[in-house]
């Protein structure tokens, strides 16, 4: 049904383009033939014939007219009016008032009369008959004071011209319709197939549509649709990541927030009740629990931000102030574990461009790991130095270090998932180290893990200075 409608819409103007010029050409040929015939018969012989018998003057046979010379019209004896039988070609005479002497002559067209009075030039125009449209041609003869001063020639269309025109139009329309149907059917089928593929792509998670073998405008639409589906797929992935990040944040709240809070409450309870004989170990444990709780909550929030893939706000950061702030925050936690923290920072400000909150969390996680996995009496050094147009920020500890297997796991390149804290394999990196690596990658910084020859472990950030 759609193919028929489209074919009809295309066939209609095509038919008009073919039929109208043909009909106009036929009319022009008819008018040209009439003009030539009329001009060829206007001569002295015609003038003599017309002026001698103007009442009976017209072309074509007349039924009811008496034979010439056998009847003389008088006031008492009037010749019978001839039967008006229209002929293919007719020529009528009119006087200076555009009045015809013949009873068979038609009324002189008013438009022709006005034109001849104004310019005295031949006039051509159409007239309507039951068989179709004919041509009529009026011309001044120049015979002054003559009943034949103007001549009106008429050329009728062939019998059945209207039926012929209708038949010709229908035939042309049928041919154009057939051509349009043959041309549009493959196109409509391709459009339907493309629409089906688009619906299948939407229900299949915006999968890519395979373009057909043709190379035309419709095929190019496939590439545009694939680009659009890729963008939709990217946005859907972002939405899914945001949903996963939110659910993981909720799932982790019990283990990473509620449990440390209960442990903190259990540690402070004896101190409140006066049951603790020595307050120092209780305070040390409470401090450790508070630090763990703060660290876990901040890592969960940071992981959720990174998991959503949303672009982070970037601004200039003084790395010296950032590193000094991290060291100041962890000194009490390190002291509670019997680890000393030293800062070896460049004296001059060192500016880089990154997200302050994310970069602060990345550095804090590395420092926290160096303290947490060190030994009592151990030492952690946070260093910052300028090396030409680049900087180097490193965190070194003198702890027991890591095994070869664990080191391979820590340095393996992997996609950030945001659930690394839930992986309990002994050789699996935690959420803090995964955040540090992801923040460095997004900020365009390098992040390397090293095992110094003297033992211990070292993590290093590097990048250009703004």
Q: What is the DSSP string of 41-98?
A: H-SHHHHHHHHHSGGG-BSS--BTPPPTTS----SSSPPPPPB----SEEEEEE-TTS
pLDDT tier, 360 (very low <50, low <70, confident <90, very high otherwise): very high
Task: Tell me what the mean pLDDT of segment 374-379 comes to.
Answer: 93
pLDDT tier, 124 (very low <50, low <70, confident <90, very high otherwise): very high
In this predicted structure, the answer to whether residue 316 has a pLDDT above a threshold of 50 is: yes
42-159: CATH topology is: Beta-Lactamase (3.30.450)
Out of 3.30.565.10, 3.40.50.300, 3.20.20.140, 3.40.630.10, select the CATH number for domain 311-464: 3.30.565.10
β-strands 379-387, 340-345 pairing: parallel
What is d(CA 190, CA 212) in angstroms, rounded to the nearest whole number? 9
Mean pLDDT score of the chain:
79
| pLDDT at residue number 272 | 63
Q: Which residues pair with 354 in a beta bridge?
A: 315
The domain spans of the chain are 42-159, 203-243, 311-464
Helices (H), 315-399: 319-336, 356-372
Cβ atoms < 10 Å from Cβ of 383: 17
pTM: 0.50
* DSSP 8-state secondary structure symbol assigned to residue 149: S
pLDDT tier, 377 (very low <50, low <70, confident <90, very high otherwise): very high
Of the listed ranges 198-202, 427-431, 440-444, the least confidently predicted one is 427-431
The count of residues in the chain is 466
| pLDDT at residue number 426 | 43
CB 155 within 8 A of CB 37: yes
* DSSP 8-state secondary structure symbol assigned to residue 349: -
In this predicted structure, the answer to whether residue 107 has a pLDDT above a threshold of 70 is: yes
Does 42-159 match 311-464 in CATH topology? no
Helices (H), 348-458: 356-372, 404-411, 431-443
Share of residues in the chain with pLDDT > 90 (%): 25
Q: Could you tell me which residue, 71 or 450, shows the higher pLDDT? A: 450
User: What 3-state DSSP class applies to 320?
Assistant: helix
């Amino acid at each position: 049904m759609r193919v028929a409608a489209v074919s009809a819409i295309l066939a209609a103007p095509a038919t008009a383009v073919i039929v109208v010029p043909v009909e106009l050409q036929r009319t022009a040929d008819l008018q040209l033939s009439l003009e030539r015939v009329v001009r060829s018969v206007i001569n002295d012989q015609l003038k003599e014939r017309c002026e001698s018998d103007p009442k009976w003057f017209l072309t074509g046979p007349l039924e009811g007219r008496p034979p010439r010379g056998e009847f003389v019209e008088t006031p008492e004896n009037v010749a019978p009016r001839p039967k008006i039988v229209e002929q293919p070609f007719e020529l009528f005479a009119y006087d200076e008032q555009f009045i015809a002497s013949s009873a068979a002559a038609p009324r002189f067209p008013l438009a022709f009369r006005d034109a001849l009075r104004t310019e005295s030039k031949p006039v051509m125009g159409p007239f309507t008959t039951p068989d179709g449209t004919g041509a009529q041609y009026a011309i001044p003869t120049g015979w002054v004071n003559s009943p034949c001063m103007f001549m009106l020639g008429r050329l009728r269309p062939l019998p059945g011209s209207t039926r012929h025109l209708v038949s010709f139009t229908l035939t042309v329309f049928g041919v154009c319709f057939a051509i349009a149907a043959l041309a549009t059917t493959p196109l409509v089928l391709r459009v339907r197939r493309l629409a089906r593929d688009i619906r299948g792509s939407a229900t299949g998670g915006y999968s890519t549509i395979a373009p057909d073998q043709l190379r035309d405008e419709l095929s190019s639409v496939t590439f545009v649709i694939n680009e659009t589906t890729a963008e939709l797929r990217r946005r859907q992935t972002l939405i899914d990541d945001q949903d996963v990040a939110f659910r993981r944040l909720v799932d982790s709240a019990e283990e990473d927030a509620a449990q440390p809070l209960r442990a903190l409450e259990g540690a402070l309870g004896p101190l409140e009740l006066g049951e603790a004989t020595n307050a120092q170990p209780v305070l040390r444990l409470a401090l450790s629990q508070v630090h763990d709780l703060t660290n876990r909550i901040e890592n969960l929030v940071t992981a959720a931000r990174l998991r959503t893939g949303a672009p982070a706000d970037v601004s200039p950061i003084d790395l010296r102030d950032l590193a000094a702030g991290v060291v100041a925050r962890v000194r009490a936690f390190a002291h509670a574990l019997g680890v000393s923290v030293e800062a070896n920072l460049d004296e001059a400000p060192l500016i880089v461009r990154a997200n302050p909150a994310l970069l602060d969390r990345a550095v804090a996680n590395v420092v926290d790991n160096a303290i947490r996995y060190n030994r009592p009496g151990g030492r952690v050094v946070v260093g910052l130095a300028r090396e030409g147009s680049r900087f180097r920020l490193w965190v070194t500890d003198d702890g027991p270090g890591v095994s070869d297997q664990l080191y391979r796991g820590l340095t393996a390149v992997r996609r950030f998932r945001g659930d690394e804290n839930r992986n309990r394999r002994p050789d699996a990196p935690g959420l803090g180290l995964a955040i540090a690596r992801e923040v460095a990658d997004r900020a365009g910084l390098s992040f390397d893990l090293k095992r110094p020859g003297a033992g211990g472990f070292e993590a290093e950030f590097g990048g250009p200075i703004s």
